Every structure is written in C-alpha cells, then in structure tokens.
Amino acid sequence: MSILEVKGITKAFGGVKALDDVSVKVEENTLMGIIGPNGSGKTTLVNTITGFVRPDHGSVVFKGKDVIGLTPYRITNMGIGRAFQMVKPFFHLPAYKNIVVPLASPRVRASSGGRFGDKDAVALDVLEEVGFERDSSVPYKAASVLPHGYLKRLELARLLALKSEIFILDELFSGLSIAEVTSIIPIIEKILLDGKTVIMVEHRLKELFRIADKVIVLNYGKKIKEGPPKEILEDEEVKKAYLGVEV
C-alpha cells in the first residue's frame, strides 16, 4: 500500500522550474532513494512534502489526506519527520535537551497517553540508539560543540523521538566518513524493521543502493527514471545525467 503519493508536483522559482510534473508513490515500510545532480530539485521535493514549499500544481497525499497547504508543524505532527541537509539543532541546548523538545510535541504526548515518565531519560535512550555513548559526556554537550557526525545522528534521533512514520533524510550521509556511514546504516535498517518508511536523498550512491528498495532520479526538476537500484545503475540516461560522477 502507498503511504505517500506525490501527484503532478510543479514548482517554479522565478524562471527556474525546480520541479516539473513529478509524481511518485512510496510504498509503506520501504526505503526510497531520491538521486540527481546538484540543483535537480531533490530538496525542493522534500520541502514540498513537508510543507516548507507550496507547489504551483499537484498534490501530496499522506495516508489518504492531502497535506498541501498544511504547515510543516502540522505535517510533522501527522508523522512525516524530516532531517535537514543543513543540520538545524538548537545549538545552545545540550544534545539530550534537543531530543526533549520533540518528546514534548503533541504527537508524542498523544501516543504516550499523556504520561511519558522522565523525558530526559527517554531522550538519553533515543540518543543511545543513534550511537551517543550513554556513559560519556557527549549527550550533555551543547549541540554547538558536537562534531558533524554527531549532529547528523542528532537529526535522526529527533525523528525517532517524534515516532515518525516516514523518515525523510536529506543527505544524511554528506560529510561523513565511510566508517560513520557504515555505522549509521544499521540504524536505518532497524527503523525499517520497526515498520517505518524511509525516503533518502543521497549523493552517496553506493551506500544508498545497498539499502534502497527503489530509487527515483531527478534531472532539471523532472523525474527521468524510477526503479530498483540495479536498473538505475544500468540506465544510460541516468549515467548521462551523472556525467563525470561514478555510479
């Protein structure tokens, strides 16, 4: 069953068509990758799904409900969680307090029946899930002093805390070492095992293709290809769009 259906989305910024009639169905409990050269519309598509950008045409249907026109806050509370390409933590707050914030959201309060025990302790549990060493000082450090790898993990922790149904990860792997990516992949696999749906925008194709069920390719705002990773790898048009990039 499709948990999310994007239908005929078009969005222009001045003369630039960032998205041109893009449609895609995302099946529940699968991982869909979105790839494409720089400026091909990937983040704009994520922004449209999550309410940050209002498209000129088209609809985005999440579990049967059109979310176009709803605020990002509402959409997040419905269960679509989004990690930012440019991480946006509360820099002055300790890492674990960054996770207390989503734990206090209406969505989580509703799902825990109003009683959630100690939010700080839950936040530390969630951070441990994404690789913050519990008995170290790292969870207590201000986000502003955390290394990049931890800030990316913090984005993931925020979506876990929100009990998101769809995790949309915009370039989660960017700036991470192979070792860091390798350690994050099992966390994503666990999210899938828990029945969630994952959408990943990625330039790290090798790693993405290992875990994706299907991939869509954007080029100049158009969806030029959709299919399982193996088909995408062998597609001539995709190779051309990625000219100079090793697939």
Ligand X SMILES: Nc1ncnc2c1ncn2[C@@H]1O[C@H](COP(=O)(O)OP(=O)(O)OP(=O)(O)O)[C@@H](O)[C@H]1O
**Footprint of ligand X (CB under 6 A):** 13, 16, 18, 36, 38-44, 85
Q: Residue 76 binds what, of ligand X, Mg ion, none (CB under 5 to 8 Å, by partner type)? A: none
**Distance of closest approach, residue 14 Cβ to ligand X, in angstroms:** 7
Nearest to 194 by CA among 8, 10, 28, 16: 28
Dist CA 122 CA 119 (whole Å)? 5
**Distance of closest approach, residue 47 Cβ to ligand X, in angstroms:** 7
Tell me the two tokens of residue 127.
């951070």
User: Which phi and psi (to 5°) does residue 95 adopt?
Assistant: -50, -50
Q: Residue 40 binds what, of Mg ion, ligand X, none (CB under 5 to 8 Å, by partner type)? A: ligand X
Tell me if residue 78 falls in helix, strand or coil.
helix
Name the residue nearer to Mg ion (CB basis): 165 or 170.
170
Dist CA 226 CA 216 (whole Å)? 4
Name the residue nearer to ligand X (CB basis): 170 or 180.
170
Is the separation of the CB atoms in 195 and 223 below 8 Å? no
| Total of residues contacting Mg ion (CB under 5 A) | 2
Nearest to 18 by CA among 61, 50, 54, 51: 54
Name the residue nearer to ligand X (CB basis): 4 or 99.
4
Tell me the two tokens of residue 28.
């529940």
Query: Should residue 40 be labelled a site residue for Mg ion when binding is judged by CB under 5 A?
Result: no
Name the residue nearer to ligand X (CB basis): 48 or 164.
48
User: Which residue in this structure is represented by tokens 């158009």?
Assistant: 222
**Distance of closest approach, residue 127 Cβ to ligand X, in angstroms:** 27
Q: Which of 4, 24, 40, 43 binds Mg ion (CB under 5 A)?
A: 43
**Distance of closest approach, residue 247 Cβ to ligand X, in angstroms:** 15
Q: Residue 38 binds what, of ligand X, Mg ion, none (CB under 5 to 8 Å, by partner type)? A: ligand X
Is the separation of the CB atoms in 113 and 86 below 8 Å? no
Name the residue nearer to Mg ion (CB basis): 42 or 153.
42
Is the separation of the CB atoms in 30 and 214 below 8 Å? yes
> Which residues contact Mg ion by CB under 5 A?
42-43
